[in-house]
């Protein structure tokens, strides 16, 4: 395949994934999908290898699509599939690491055989169980577990499964509506791939897949070979809901002979009793993401560009959760995985890394009754702290790294549930001082319009431990989670009084370089 | 008696003017844009075209329409005096926090646009309105008075006011304006509830701030134009082309400049709809490729698609999220970082990339001889033989073939390709990136892009259009007449249009129909009155009604056109069925057990249809035809080169062929056939296959 044709076809795959991601975002009921962009769409080959993904805000979803591909292929060998089959799972250990994220794979049939898959993963409005919080005591309390199954078989809906989903989630019409859209996006994406094959006279995607994976892998290995070999270490310490302290240690071994980077997380914290444990596929996703962004962000994301990044994680640790550990709020820990990795990479790529960031998004979910007594359950809504500074510019304020998802607008939330926001402003000066200061955190204050007690699932982090500065810079200020002015250190769902006022003060990011006076 | 109408379009480089007589004759003129004082070019152009037509100002008794780039320039250049923003207390950083999103998650070095209003000029107003429109905290008058006095001290001329939930109830914003103008009567106040009354605080604040920022530049400019026109003997009110393709009077436009951002492209899209009707091709893709970017817009059923949100001044690779959101109606156009000046490069995979970085107009492509050293799309087109080095801009600029060849040769070494193969690669990659962007844009809009004919214009558009058409499975490309003054032309050949809408969310099966009737009849009255003022005859005004619908729980709507009788008869089932059919067409599914919600009602009023059955073409000489070797995908061809002016109606010839105009070159690829229709438009059709 000549290089010009490869470029043209490759761009086409990315554009097909982008097309379907946009359709999903436009039609989604789930507010974190339609307002915040918490979704992924990918094109995979017949061997389940990730070829291209849409440019969305959720690296955890994108990179776990790759592991999901392998498991789907094992469970459903492509030669056993029939046109009209649609595959589904939300298994945390096989796909996107918590039940809320439902992954759908649509086989692409061309001339009677499967040539690949369109995969999509979105954070659904609800999945039953505990809700979006860290308080469940095991994974079963966290909601409905959908193993690797067929959602449609030869075009016929799996009625039993639909029935089970309908009976187990809080907003069945929204969950089923979004699932229908995932299936539709998969079908249309598959049609686009077929049209592409016809337009360029391809029999299947294999030559294209091999070329783009090979090229990406070679480019990544070449970039690694330019680094100074050795083992570099980084460590991040932060606190999670309830005040528990978590340590993630990363030793990044750069092997310039093989052209690979192995991150060993030995020494990281043991599993938590809270629902913040991270399945290994999610740890791998964020490790690869952190390195990719520093090393060679211009190489598109796919199996080839991700292959040279390997992970060793201690058996049964907070970043290698085992059944039946609860995992629902895994993003709190997972979004910190890049921090020790970037601290290690600072020794070889000082101009490319970020100083330590505020880390996980601060999120909330509320349940209660409005003034007329009608029950409501919100979807997750979230707020960012400050991003760490760069070698030659400051960190962005109230902007999350590693995820890039948006906050749901205040007016949207107020229109959908009886919530009233009293403040949302930057906390100036909370970013670490430095030649380039870290991004500032923000204050978000809200209360409810209700006459009855209500429940709050709040997922916060870094309320004690600051985000370190880099290269002699100051640290970002820790955040605060207050109810009626008092700090809260409770990970479980809180029972709130009607007049209670909630304050999130998200943490600042670390600065970069010694401050100049 | 309407005889003459006039349109002036001020773009970045040229100021175009078109004068039309009701019998269908046209006169056009083109002058250089006078960037320091746009008014000068405006009047120079008008004078020139009147002289050309031997016409007096007082004979121009039909409309005078103006499209201008002044608003976009003001936003991009950021040279306007500072403005202030007033927001609900507790939310001062609405512009700085944005939506918290990173437009490219892989880019650690990402930057976001700097807020248009700095923190020290953002003021907090103690007040609070809830999402149901109820006031829980009254506006603190003393606080607003103090802000007003501070604004006077700071010599601030223009203020944006964006209070929470004002889309639902504008009372608090209006009260703030009242207090401000009582203290400081000269200050321009832009209310978000007037400018962009839609849910979502950040885009609304951004839109209102953009409006406030540009009022002090645009209002004096339009006032001066109006005065100048009166002084020159013109009697009517100047009409301004809006981004939506509708028009309003210059007086109102001066206070709503944010609605004029895409004024020129909107008029261009109207020209495309004119051709869609004239040529009986109701669905078209207008494709305008210039020096830095390409713009594409779908025409469906003879009308351009309209969006209610877009971005201006994207600072990062034209990427979504890197500009300021604007939530007012606009021609739904996609802008792609691909133009004649787009730079070719290789990425770390060793693969070719083209754009979005551009050599701009300076130094421009290597072949411009202004010191450019990196190969561009224009250099590639030249090496392929598609452009004539000695006949660029009618021969005014001699292109440097050898310089371009050397650079492409050196660049091609890395790919083991010769200069021509490299050039062909650039041609193919830039075509594919435009086609990809068009396909994604189409899906966003629920448009089936397969096979849609292209209407090609712009300096580089006609060079690349056949290739882009092939990638969109299209069999037809149309090269219109008047392409070099297309926006000004568009403003005069489509009926005047005015759009109104009222937001009012409600479940379809539980609507307060008397309120709906009131919304619609008020809008109809308002729209009629405005068109009457612009000179339309009452019996010729046409009204259409639409609504924005979604399934309850979603937040993006589809606009559905409705029959007045369905509304009058409360035909809920028929309205739901119309929505669901459109939803199924757009997203491929229909959802069950879900309520349908209406979010807004829309009324559009159209002025009289314009009777323009033909576009005249100047007869040219049959001279200047020759041939040269041009490299295509299937190898080099000895290709005829034909001056456009020498073409006769009805003439037909096979591709490959090159047709040269002063401003552009039309490339008919092998496998295509070109013909000249009775209007002088060139049709390229794909043969066989």
Predicted TM-score (pTM) of the model is: 0.90
Q: Which residue of A has its CA nearest to B348?
A: A219
For helices B38-53 and B201-231, angle between their N-to-C axes, nearest 10 degrees: 50
Choose the final residue of a domain: A172, A188, A215.
Answer: A215
What confidence score (pLDDT) does residue A82 get? 97
Residue in B closest to A213 by C-alpha: B349
Whether the per-residue pLDDT at B180 is higher than 90: the answer is yes
Distance from CA of B412 to the nearest CA of A (A): 12
Residues 6 or more apart whose Cβ sits within 8 Å of residue B497: B245, B246, B247, B604, B605, B606, B607
Among B201, B444, B593, whose Cβ lies nearest the Cβ of A173? B593
Nearest to B436 among A11, A27, A187 (CB): A11
- Using a 10 angstrom Cβ sphere, with 0-12 exposed, 13-18 middle and 19 or more buried, the burial of residue A416 is middle
From CA A240, how far away is CA A361, in angstroms rounded? 12
CATH of domain B1-62: 3.30.420.40
Residue A487, in any domain of the structure: yes
Is residue A275 assigned to a domain?
no
Query: What are φ and ψ of residue B75, in 5° steps?
Result: -70, -45
Among residues A193, A215, A237, the one where a domain terminates is A215
Q: CA-to-CA distance for B470 and A272, rounded, in angstroms?
A: 57
**ω before B656 within 30° of 0 (cis)?**
yes
Q: Is the dihedral angle over the CA atoms B393, B399, B405, B408 positive or is it negative?
A: negative
- Phi first, then psi: give them for residue A223, nearest 5 degrees: -65, -40
Question: Helix/strand/coil (H, E, C) string of B425-454?
Answer: HHHHHHHHHHHHHHHHHHHHHCCCCCCCCE
Residue A7 lies in a domain: yes
> How many angstroms separate the CA of residue A137 from the nearest CA in chain B?
31
CA torsion through residues B13, B15, B20, B25, sign: negative
**ipTM for this model:** 0.92
Instruction: Compute and round to an integer the Cα radius of gyration of chain A.
Output: 22
Chain B from 153 to 172: CB within 8 A of any A CB: 164-165, 167
Shortest distance, CA A273 to any CA of chain B (angstroms):
31
Do B436 and A12 lie within an 8 Å CB cutoff?
A: yes
Token pair in block for residue B607: 């002025």
Q: Does A4 touch chain B (CB under 8 A)?
A: yes
Length of chain B: 689
Rounded distance, CA A14 to CA B178, Å?
A: 52
B88-111 burial, b at 16+ Cβ within 10 Å, e below that, comes to bbbbbbbbbbbbbbbbbbbbbebe
Task: Dump pLDDT digits (tens) for B370-420.
Answer: 999 999 999 999 999 999 999 887 787 899 999 999 999 999 998 889 999
Q: Do A12 and B553 touch (CB under 8 A)?
A: no
Q: Cα–Cα distance between B382 and A227 in angstroms, integer?
A: 41
Q: Please report, to the nearest 10 degrees, the dihedral formed by the alpha carbons of residues A326, A329, A331, A332 taken in order.
A: -100
B432 touches chain A (CB under 8 A): yes
Do residues B418 and B410 make contact, with C-beta atoms less than 8 angstroms apart? Answer: no
Query: CATH says B78-218 is which class?
Result: alpha beta
Residue whose tokens read 């990544």: A220
Q: Would residue A105 count as lying in a domain?
A: yes
Q: Are A488 and A481 in contact (CB under 8 A)?
A: yes
Answer whether A289's CB lies under 8 Å from A258's CB.
Answer: no
Nearest chain A residue (CA) to B426: A4
Q: Does B93 touch chain A if contact means CB atoms closer than 8 Å?
A: yes
Cα A504 from Cα B476, distance rounded (Å): 58
DSSP code for A139: G
Q: How many domains does chain A have?
A: 2
For A198, the 3-state DSSP assignment is: helix
Q: Tell which of A198, A215, A232 closes a domain.
A: A215
* pLDDT, chain B, mean: 89
Provide the shortest C-alpha distance from residue B88 to chain A (in Å).
9
**Alpha helical stretches, state H, A241-337:** 280-295, 303-306, 331-334
**Residue A272: DSSP 8-state:** P
Region B569-597: mean pLDDT is 87
Q: Is the confidence at residue B465, as pLDDT, over 90? A: yes
Nearest CA among A205, A400, A230, A234 for reference residue A303: A205
pLDDT tens digit sequence for B219-253: 999 999 999 999 999 988 899 999 999 888 898 89
A352: which chain B residues are within 8 Å (Cβ-Cβ)? 108
Q: Residue A480: its pLDDT value, please?
A: 97
Q: What single DSSP character describes residue B539? A: G
CA dihedral B670, B673, B674, B675 (to 10 degrees): 170
**Neighboring chain B residues of A11 at a CB cutoff of 8 Å:** 429, 432-433, 436
Rounded to a whole number of angstroms, the distance from the CA of B676 to the nearest CA of chain A is 29
> pLDDT in tens for each of the 517 residues of chain A?
788 888 888 888 988 898 888 888 888 888 888 877 889 999 999 999 999 998 877 888 888 898 899 999 999 999 999 999 999 999 999 999 999 999 999 999 999 999 999 999 999 999 999 988 899 999 999 999 999 999 999 999 999 999 999 999 988 988 999 999 999 999 989 998 998 899 889 999 999 999 999 999 999 999 999 999 999 999 999 999 888 999 999 999 999 999 999 999 999 999 999 999 999 999 999 999 999 999 999 898 999 999 999 999 999 899 999 999 999 999 999 999 999 999 999 999 999 999 999 988 999 999 999 999 999 888 889 999 999 999 999 999 999 999 888 898 999 899 889 999 999 999 999 999 999 999 999 999 999 999 999 999 999 999 999 999 999 999 999 999 999 999 999 888 999 999 999 999 999 999 999 998 6
How far apart are the CA of B556 and the nearest CA of chain A, in angstroms? 6
Up-side HSE of residue A340: CA atoms within 13 Å toward CB?
26
Residues of B in contact with A442 (CB under 8 A): 93, 97
Taking phi over 0 as left and psi of -120 to 50 as alpha, with beta for the rest, B505 belongs to: beta
Cα separation, B626 vs A151, in Å, equals 64
Question: Is there a domain that residue A264 lies in?
Answer: no
B202 interface with A at CB cutoff 8 Å: yes
Cα–Cα–Cα angle for B346, B352, B356, rounded to 5 degrees: 80
Is residue B317's pLDDT more than 70?
no
The answer to whether B101 contacts A383, with C-beta atoms less than 8 Å apart, is: no
Q: Which residues 340-379 of B are in CB contact (within 8 Å) with A?
A: 347-353
Minimal C-alpha gap between B512 and chain A (Å): 19
Helices (H), ranges, A1-43: 3-27, 31-34
Interchain contact, B100 vs A292, CB within 8 Å? no
Name the token pair of A16: 């097909």
CB-nearest to A410 from B201, B444, B551 is B201
Give domain limits for chain B. Answer: 1-62, 78-218, 495-606
The verdict on A7 touching B (C-beta cutoff 8 Å) is yes
Q: Which of B92, B104, B106 to mutate to test the interface with A (most CBs of A within 10 A)?
A: B106
Q: How many angstroms separate the Cα of B207 from the Cα of each of A26, B197, B263? A: 21, 10, 16
Beta strand spans in B267-341 (E)? 284-289, 294-300, 303-304, 306-307, 310-312, 324-326, 330-331, 333-336
Count of CB atoms situated within 10 Å of the CB of B112: 19
Where are the strands (E) in A111-187, listed by range? 113-123, 149-153, 156-157
Q: Phi, psi (5° rounding) for residue B39?
A: -60, -40
Q: Using a CB-CB distance cutoff of 8 angstroms, which residues of chain A are in contact with residue B588? A: 184, 187-188
Domain that holds residue A442: 354-517
Each residue of A132-169: pLDDT tens digit? 889 999 999 999 999 999 999 999 999 999 999 999 99
Measured in angstroms, the CA of B296 and the nearest CA of chain A are apart by: 16
- Cβ pairs A/B, distance under 8 A: 207
DSSP run (H or E) holding B231: helix B201-231
Q: What CATH number should be reported for the domain holding residue A100? A: 3.30.450
- Contact of B309 with chain A, judged by CB distance below 8 Å, is answered with no
Candidate from A180, A292, A354 with C-beta closest to B106: A292
A86 in reach of chain B (CB within 8 A): no
Give me the pLDDT at residue B1, please: 46
Chain B residue numbers touching A184 (CB-CB < 8 A): 587-589
DSSP state of B590: -
Q: How confident is the model at residue B619 (pLDDT cuts 50, 70, 90)?
A: low
Q: How far is B197 from chain A (nearest CA, A)?
A: 12
């Amino acid at each position: 395949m000549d290089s010009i044709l490869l470029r043209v076809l490759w761009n086409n795959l990315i554009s097909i994934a982008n097309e379907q991601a946009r359709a999903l975002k436009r039609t989604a009921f789930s507010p974190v999908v339609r307002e915040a962009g918490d979704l992924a769409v990918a094109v995979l080959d017949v061997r389940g290898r990730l070829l291209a993904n849409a440019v969305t805000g959720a690296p955890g979803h994108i990179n776990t699509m790759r592991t999901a591909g392998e498991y789907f292929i094992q469970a459903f060998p492509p030669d056993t599939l029939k046109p009209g089959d649609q595959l589904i799972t939300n298994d945390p250990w096989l796909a996107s690491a918590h039940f809320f994220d439902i992954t759908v794979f649509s086989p692409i049939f061309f001339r009677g055989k499967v040539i690949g898959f369109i995969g999509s993963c979105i954070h659904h409005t609800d999945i039953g169980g505990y809700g979006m919080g860290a308080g469940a005591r095991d994974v079963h309390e966290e909601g409905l577990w959908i193993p690797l199954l067929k959602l449609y078989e030869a075009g016929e809906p799996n009625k039993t499964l639909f029935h089970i989903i309908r009976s187990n989630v809080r907003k069945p019409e929204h969950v089923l509506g979004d699932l229908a859209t995932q299936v539709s996006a998969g079908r249309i994406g598959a049609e686009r791939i077929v049209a592409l094959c016809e337009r360029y006279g391809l029999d299947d995607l294999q030559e294209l897949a091999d070329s783009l994976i090979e090229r990406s892998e070679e480019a990544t290995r070449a970039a690694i070979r330019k680094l100074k070999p050795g083992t570099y270490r980084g460590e991040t310490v932060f606190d999670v809901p309830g005040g528990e302290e978590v340590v993630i240690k990363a030793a990044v071994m750069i092997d310039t002979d093989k052209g690979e980077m192995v991150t060993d997380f030995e020494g990281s914290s043991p599993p938590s009793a809270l629902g913040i444990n991270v399945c290994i596929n999610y740890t791998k996703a964020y490790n690869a993401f952190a390195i990719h962004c520093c090393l060679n962000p211009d190489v598109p994301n796919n199996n080839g560009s991700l292959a040279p990044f390997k992970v060793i994680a201690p058996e049964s640790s907070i970043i290698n959760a085992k059944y039946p550990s609860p995992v629902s709020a895994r993003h709190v820990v997972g979004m910190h995985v890049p921090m020790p990795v970037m601290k290690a990479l600072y020794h070889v790529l000082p101009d490319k890394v970020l100083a330590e960031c505020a880390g996980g998004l601060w999120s909330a979910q509320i349940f209660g009754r409005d003034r007329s007594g009608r029950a409501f359950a919100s979807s997750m809504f979230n707020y960012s702290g400050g991003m760490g500074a760069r070698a030659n510019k400051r960190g962005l304020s109230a902007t999350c790294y590693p995820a890039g998802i948006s906050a749901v607008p205040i007016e949207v939330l107020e229109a959908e549930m009886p919530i009233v926001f009293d403040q949302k402003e930057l906390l100036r000066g909370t970013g670490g001082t430095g030649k380039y200061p870290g991004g500032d955190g923000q204050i978000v204050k809200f209360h409810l319009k209700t006459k009855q007690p209500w429940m709050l699932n709040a997922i916060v982090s870094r309320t004690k431990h600051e985000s370190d500065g880099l290269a002699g810079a100051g640290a970002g200020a820790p955040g605060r989670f207050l109810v009626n002015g008092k700090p809260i250190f409770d990970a479980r769902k809180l029972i709130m009084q009607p007049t209670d006022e909630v304050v999130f003060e998200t943490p600042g990011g670390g600065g970069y370089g010694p401050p100049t006076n | 008696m309407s005889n003459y109408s006039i349109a002036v379009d001020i773009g970045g480089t040229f100021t175009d003017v078109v004068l039309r007589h009701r019998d269908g004759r046209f006169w056009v003129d083109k002058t250089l844009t006078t960037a320091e004082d746009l008014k000068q070019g405006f009047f120079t152009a008008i004078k020139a075209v009147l002289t050309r037509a031997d016409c007096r100002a007082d004979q121009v008794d039909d409309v005078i329409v103006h499209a201008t780039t002044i608003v976009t320039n003001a936003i991009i250049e950021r040279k306007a005096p500072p403005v202030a923003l007033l927001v609900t207390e507790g939310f001062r950083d609405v512009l700085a926090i944005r939506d918290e999103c990173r437009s490219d998650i892989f880019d650690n070095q990402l930057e976001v646009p700097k807020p248009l209003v700095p923190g020290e000029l953002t003021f907090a107003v103690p007040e609070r309105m809830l999402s149901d429109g109820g006031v829980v905290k009254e506006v603190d008058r003393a606080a607003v008075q103090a802000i007003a006095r501070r604004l006077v001290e700071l010599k601030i001329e223009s203020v944006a006011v964006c209070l929470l939930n004002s889309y639902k109830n504008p009372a608090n914003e209006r009260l703030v304006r009242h207090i401000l103008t009582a203290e400081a009567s000269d200050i321009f106040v832009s209310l978000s509830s007037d400018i962009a009354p839609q849910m979502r605080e950040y885009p609304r604040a951004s839109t209102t701030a953009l409006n406030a920022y540009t009022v002090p530049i645009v209002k004096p400019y339009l006032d001066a134009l109006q005065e100048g026109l009166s002084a020159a003997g013109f009697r009517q009110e100047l009409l301004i082309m809006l981004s939506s393709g509708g028009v309003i009077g210059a007086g109102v436009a001066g206070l709503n400049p944010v609605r004029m951002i895409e004024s020129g492209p909107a008029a261009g899209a109207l020209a495309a709809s004119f051709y869609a009707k004239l040529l009986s091709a109701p669905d078209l893709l207008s494709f305008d490729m210039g020096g830095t970017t390409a713009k594409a817009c779908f025409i469906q059923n003879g009308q351009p698609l309209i969006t209610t949100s877009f971005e201006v001044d994207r600072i990062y690779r034209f990427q979504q999220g890197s500009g300021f959101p604007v939530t007012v109606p606009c021609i739904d156009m996609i802008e792609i970082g691909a133009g004649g000046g787009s730079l070719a490069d290789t990425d770390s995979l060793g693969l070719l990339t083209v754009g979005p970085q551009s050599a701009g107009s300076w130094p421009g492509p290597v072949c411009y001889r202004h010191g450019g050293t990196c190969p561009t799309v224009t250099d590639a087109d030249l090496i392929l033989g598609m452009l004539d080095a000695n006949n660029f801009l009618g021969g005014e600029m001699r292109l440097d073939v050898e310089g371009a060849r050397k650079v492409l040769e050196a660049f091609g070494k890395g790919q083991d390709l010769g200069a021509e193969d490299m050039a062909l690669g650039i041609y193919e990659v830039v075509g594919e990136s435009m086609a990809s962007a068009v396909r994604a844009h189409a899906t966003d809009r629920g448009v089936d892009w397969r096979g849609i004919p292209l209407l090609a214009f712009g300096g580089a558009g006609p060079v690349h259009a056949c290739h882009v058409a092939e990638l969109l499975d299209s069999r037809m490309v149309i090269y219109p007449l008047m392409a070099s003054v297309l926006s000004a032309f568009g403003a005069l050949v489509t009926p005047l249009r005015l759009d109104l809408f009222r937001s009012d969310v409600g479940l379809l099966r539980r609507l307060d129909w008397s309120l709906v009737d009131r919304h619609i009849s008020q809008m109809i009255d308002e729209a009629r009155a405005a068109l009457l003022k612009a000179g339309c005859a009452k019996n010729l005004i046409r009204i259409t009604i639409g609504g924005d619908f979604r399934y309850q729980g979603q937040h993006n709507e589809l606009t559905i056109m409705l029959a007045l009788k369905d509304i009058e008869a409360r035909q809920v089932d028929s309205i739901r069925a119309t929505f669901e059919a459109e939803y199924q067409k757009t997203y491929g599914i229909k959802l069950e057990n879900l309520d349908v919600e209406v979010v807004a009602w829309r009324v559009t009023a159209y002025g009289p249809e314009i009777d323009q059955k033909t576009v005249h073409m100047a007869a040219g000489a049959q001279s200047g035809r020759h041939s040269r070797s041009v490299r295509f995908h299937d190898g080099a061809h000895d290709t005829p080169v034909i001056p456009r002016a020498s073409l006769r109606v009805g003439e037909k010839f096979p591709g490959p062929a090159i047709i040269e105009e002063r401003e552009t070159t039309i490339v008919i690829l092998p496998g295509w056939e070109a013909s000249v229709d009775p209007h002088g438009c060139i049709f390229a059709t794909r043969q066989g296959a």
